[in-house]
């Protein structure tokens, strides 16, 4: 049971949703799963108590929308939420989600969420109960609903970080969305050239950078679309720095080295 007196329902049991379900089940919560796929393997592992249809989500005390951003927005607008429910999500863009949540019925609480953990893999086959251990988890909200979701986040070993929707989207455009876009663009260019020498001369640093290129377009399409203005600003800023003459880049390298040292 949750602190709110009922089960947690995870709507969307891919990598993030199934990992969260597993972690909450391990910490003593009753967790339901809802997904188009058969979740029998998650029941067998004890990661969810049972699979439920979408229609049963309104029976849960807490509902976690672990869907692509477009699916989160659609669910907030279309599903019959009831007063007393607490909803949260794991979407990588918060502006569009918070706008949709503002139209929820009276008595339905919403806290925007975004865990900073995952991988280029997808599906519950890649999930694990400790995925969020030590990871930051952005939360957009206030009051008792925020406190409740923060408590659930801590149950997973994650670190809640409160912020506004606009500042979240501005920051992650640079820290998350642009790295994905750049890795995809470089990998696509390499594949398009079909040059065996390029693969042969791809060292550890290049392979680490291109790891993100294995990510699914299905996951990223809505993110890149919904946060396009901030992503374009981030891309312009990085392009301006990188396109300077070589002799002018010493300061950029010093700034970069300072950040790298702090991140170790």
What six digits make up the tokens of 98? 């918070």
Sorting pLDDT into bands at 50, 70 and 90, what band is 2? low
Compute the distance between CA of residue 133 and CA of residue 115 in angstroms, rounded to an integer. Answer: 11
Residues 52/23, Cβ–Cβ less than 8 Å? no
What six digits make up the tokens of 140? 């957009």
Q: What is the mean pLDDT of the chain?
A: 95
Sorting pLDDT into bands at 50, 70 and 90, what band is 1? very low
Q: Is the pLDDT of residue 27 over 80?
A: yes
What six digits make up the tokens of 178? 């642009």
Q: Is the pLDDT of residue 180 over 50?
A: yes
Instruction: Characterize the bridge pairing of strands 62-65 and 31-34.
Output: unpaired
Q: Is the pLDDT of residue 213 over 80?
A: yes
Residue 219: its pLDDT value, please?
A: 84
Sorting pLDDT into bands at 50, 70 and 90, what band is 13? very high
The 10 Å Cβ neighbour count of residue 56 is 14
Q: Is the pLDDT of residue 188 over 80?
A: yes
Sorting pLDDT into bands at 50, 70 and 90, what band is 3? very low
Which residues, 6+ apart, have CB-to-CB distance to 5 below 8 Å?
61
Average pLDDT over residues 1-9: 71
Q: Is the pLDDT of residue 120 over 80?
A: no
Taken in order of first residue, the domains within the chain and their CATH numbers are: 8-163 (3.40.50.720), 166-263 (1.10.3660.10)
Q: What confidence tens digit (pLDDT) does each residue in 141-176 have? A: 999 999 999 999 999 999 999 999 999 999 999 999
Q: Is the pLDDT of residue 221 over 70?
A: yes
Q: What confidence tens digit (pLDDT) does each residue in 235-258 have? A: 999 999 999 999 999 999 999 999
| Ramachandran area for residue 118 (φ above 0: left; ψ -120 to 50: alpha; else beta) | left
Sorting pLDDT into bands at 50, 70 and 90, what band is 179? very high
Q: Is the pLDDT of residue 99 over 90?
A: yes
Q: What confidence tens digit (pLDDT) does each residue in 189-211 have? A: 999 999 999 999 999 999 999 99
């Amino acid at each position: 049971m949750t602190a709110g007196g009922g089960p947690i329902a995870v709507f969307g049991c891919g990598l993030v949703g199934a990992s969260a379900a597993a972690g909450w089940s391990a910490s003593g919560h009753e967790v339901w799963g809802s997904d188009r796929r058969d979740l029998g393997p998650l029941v067998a592992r004890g990661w969810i108590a049972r699979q439920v249809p979408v229609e049963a989500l309104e029976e849960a005390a807490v509902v976690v929308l672990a869907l692509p951003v477009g699916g989160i927005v659609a669910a907030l607008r279309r599903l019959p939420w009831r007063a007393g429910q607490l909803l949260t999500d794991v979407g990588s863009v918060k502006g569009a989600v918070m706008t949709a949540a503002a139209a929820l019925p009276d008595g339905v609480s919403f806290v925007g969420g975004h865990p900073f953990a995952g991988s280029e893999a997808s599906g519950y086959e890649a999930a694990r109960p400790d995925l969020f251990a030590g990871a930051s988890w952005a939360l957009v909200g206030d009051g008792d609903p925020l406190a409740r979701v923060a408590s659930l986040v801590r149950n997973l070993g994650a670190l809640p970080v409160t912020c506004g929707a606009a500042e979240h989207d501005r920051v992650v455009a640079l820290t998350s969305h642009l790295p994905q876009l750049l890795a995809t663009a470089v990998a696509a260019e390499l594949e398009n050239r079909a040059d065996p020498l390029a693969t042969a001369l791809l060292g550890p640093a290049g392979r680490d950078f291109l790891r993100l290129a294995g990510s699914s377009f299905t996951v990223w399409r809505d993110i890149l679309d919904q946060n396009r203005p901030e992503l374009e600003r981030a891309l312009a800023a990085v392009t301006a720095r990188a396109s300077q003459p070589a002799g002018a880049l010493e300061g950029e390298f010093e700034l970069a080295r300072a950040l790298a040292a702090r991140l170790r």
